[in-house]
Amino acid sequence: MKRFFIVLLAFVLAGSAAVYSDATPPKSHMSWNITGLVNGVESNVSCVGEPFTIRVINKNIKRPLDHVLIMVYYLNDYVNDKVGSLMTTYTGDIQFFPNASGTYELKMSRQDYFTEATYVKAVACSTPETTTLPATTTTEEPTTTEPPTTTSSTTTSSTTTTTIEATCSDGVQNQGEEGIDCGGPCKSCPSAGNFYPIVMGVSIVILVLAIVLFAMRRNKKAKPELVSKDDHPKHRKKHKEK
């Protein structure tokens, strides 16, 4: 009986330890591929107003990662200015349009993944100019040459920055949340670790019941057997004398 209760207690403690260990799964790493455009040609940098195409994947299984929050910062000599935030689609892709030349920091974060950072550079690209050669006309009169005319084209680019307002239903861990849309300013997160005190309490109750049952069984064995009045030694002696 004692061995049974010891095995039962060990089983309960092992189960509670397993539940507690499952509460914090290991984190994974992200990988990314960033391509810029210089006058329509792919490059590792991008012209101001032309997009960087960002693709984020799982580093181990090479699977595209959606709902990756990308915070964009513009780096200058004094402080990092936050430009905006982006979020990858189900294909793991998103585009970022730089609005000034310089270096940008991209910080990528997602639940159950390590926060990663990388840097991209935007440059001011000159617009190609188109020159019209002078036209020459030959007649009997002296040759006249028209002055050259130069036509330059200017391209106006617009920068689109996607800003996502942090809420408790945006599917992203932000605004001080402990998990995705839970914890912090949102409702508390359902974590397996919250059951650990309950499991321990149940274990203690089972242990106490086991001790009580063991004590009751031991007292039952030690209790003397009742002897009938006729079987008592004094009564036997009286019967013999009669």
Helix (H) or strand (E) holding 107: strand 102-109
What mean pLDDT is predicted for residues 53-75?
93
> Containing domain of residue 222, as a range?
1-23+192-242
What mean pLDDT is predicted for residues 206-233?
71
- The confidence score (pLDDT) of residue 167 equals 78
- Indicate whether 145 belongs to any domain: no
Q: How far is Cα 177 from Cα 168, in angstroms, rounded to an integer?
A: 9
Same domain, 60 and 164: yes
CATH of the domain at 110: 2.60.40.10
Cβ neighbour number for residue 145 with a 10 Å cutoff: 9
- The confidence score (pLDDT) of residue 92 equals 92
- Indicate whether 115 belongs to any domain: yes
Residue 96 has pLDDT above 80, yes or no: yes
> Per-residue DSSP letters for 88-150?
--TTSEEEE--SSSEEEEEEEE-TTB--EEEEEEEE-PPPPPEEEPPPEE--SSPPEEPPPEE
- Indicate whether 135 belongs to any domain: no
Same domain, 36 and 16: no
- Indicate whether 137 belongs to any domain: no
Select the more confidently predicted residue: 93 or 193. 93
Same domain, 172 and 59: yes
- Give 188: exposed, middle or buried? Use CB within 10 Å, 0-12, 13-18, 19+: exposed
pLDDT 10s digits, 177-190 = 777 778 777 877 76
Q: Give the pTM.
A: 0.46
pLDDT 10s digits, 109-143 = 998 999 999 999 999 987 655 545 555 545 455 55
- Indicate whether 238 belongs to any domain: yes
Average pLDDT over the chain reads: 75
Residue 164 has pLDDT above 90, yes or no: no
Same domain, 82 and 38: yes
pLDDT 10s digits, 134-149 = 555 454 555 555 555 5
Select the more confidently predicted residue: 108 or 223. 108
Instruction: Give me the number of domains the chain comprises.
Output: 2
